[in-house]
Homo-oligomer: A and B are copies of this chain.
Amino acid sequence: MSDSENPPKDTIPPLPSNKDLRITLIGTGTIGLSFAAFHLTHLPSPSQLTIYDVRPNLSTYISNTLPQYLPPSVPASTISSIYIATTLPAAVQNAHIIQESGPENLAFKSKLWAEIEEHALKDALLWSSTSGILASAQAKDMVDKSRVLVVHPYNPPHVMPLLELVPSPHTSAQVIQRTRAFWEACGRVPIHLKKETTGFVANRLAFALLREAIHLVDEGVVDVRELDAIVESSMGPRWAVAGPFKSYHAGGGEGGLEGFFKNIGGTVQECWADTGKVEVGAGWEEEVFRQAKEAYGRVDVGERDRVTRRVLEVLREEKEGKEHSQA
């Protein structure tokens, strides 16, 4: 944790303890509701959560839609205790954390933050769930640009542990530090990106593999279902346990990652030189979309998320067991 080597001056008070924390969510699409489900499982009382959106009939919509995101441990009746705000000032004025998951539209977000800045507590953390609009752009109309931080989840955030923290050059170290502390205390994995980069890290990595996957299907080497089966029975479970660098470092034996490249760097370079360079809209779409539809129809994401939770539970147990045995 490189930040802890240079602890910032404590000019912002720490977040209140969990029982006194107030969180406001803005936007009720799939990401917003998934975050709502997450917070409901972690906050002692649902009345600590406020939701705001311009959507008509918001209360009814939330009552109908949110239950599907809740784990069995949270009764659906909990939802009636969430505070549904009817104006933005009312939504944000008391919150310690304000998390927006609104439209992916710079004009919307920059206007929103400028307005929030007028009404929010001076120390409130301001988080955007955006998957692509940089914090530096979002904060452009604010007086104090040090407050906005991208907190990008891996979908769906009520299941997946990752949060990419992507500050702008203006974001203060304290904002990053308090955000990280919040997510770590919740058992999540917040990773601080040191530079604002197109698509952040997780999507860039996943899309690089996806591009090669599309290329191989487009070339007729395997079909969509076979390609998925390959990933599910090899690098998926492997990388759930040990990321790519750790895996290849292990694969190199005593020589580590250097030994790995000494052994098969030639093959790696041959694969890189031969990598497909498909583009969006270049004509592979029709067949690949057709195969996906034929293979999967409508995916049961509830089932997928249930199994994912079981896998994550094994990984969490192992990690905690290891930390315990090292303590």
Contacts and interface: CB of A to CB of B under 8 A. Distances in A.
Contact of A233 (B189, B250, B281, B299): B189
A234 B202 contact: yes
A155 B233 CA distance: 11
Interface string A252-267: 0010111001001111
A236 to B, nearest CB: 3
Binding site of A, secondary structure by majority: helix, strand, loop or mixed?
helix
Most buried by B among A244, A279, A281: A244
Contact of A243 (B195, B231, B256, B271): B231
Interface string A212-227: 1100110111111111
A64 interface: no
B315 A314 contact: no
B239 A239 contact: yes
Interface stretch (A34-42, A71-79, A85-93, A159-167): A159-167
A213 B202 CA distance: 10
Interface string A296-327: 10110100100110111011001000000000
A78 to B, nearest CB: 25
A274 interface: yes
A69 to B, nearest CB: 14
Nearest to A211: B272
Contact of A280 (B201, B219, B261, B281): B261
B304 A251 contact: no
A15 interface: no
B236 A243 contact: yes
Contact of A264 (B131, B161, B245, B251): B131
Nearest to A204: B271
Q: How many copies does the complex hold?
A: 2
Given A202-B234, A239-B232, A261-B285, A293 B162 contact: no
Contacts of A188: 233
Nearest to A161: B233
Given A245-B227, A280-B268, A232 B236 contact: no
A231 B241 contact: no
30 contacts: A189-B229, A189-B233, A191-B230, A195-B221, A198-B270, A201-B221, A202-B231, A202-B235, A204-B275, A205-B209, A205-B212, A206-B235, A209-B235, A210-B244, A211-B272, A217-B245, A228-B243, A231-B239, A236-B238, A237-B315, A239-B240, A240-B240, A246-B296, A250-B304, A256-B298, A265-B280, A269-B281, A307-B315, A310-B314, A311-B311
Nearest to A235: B206
Contacts of A269: 279-281
A194 interface: yes
A135 to B, nearest CB: 15
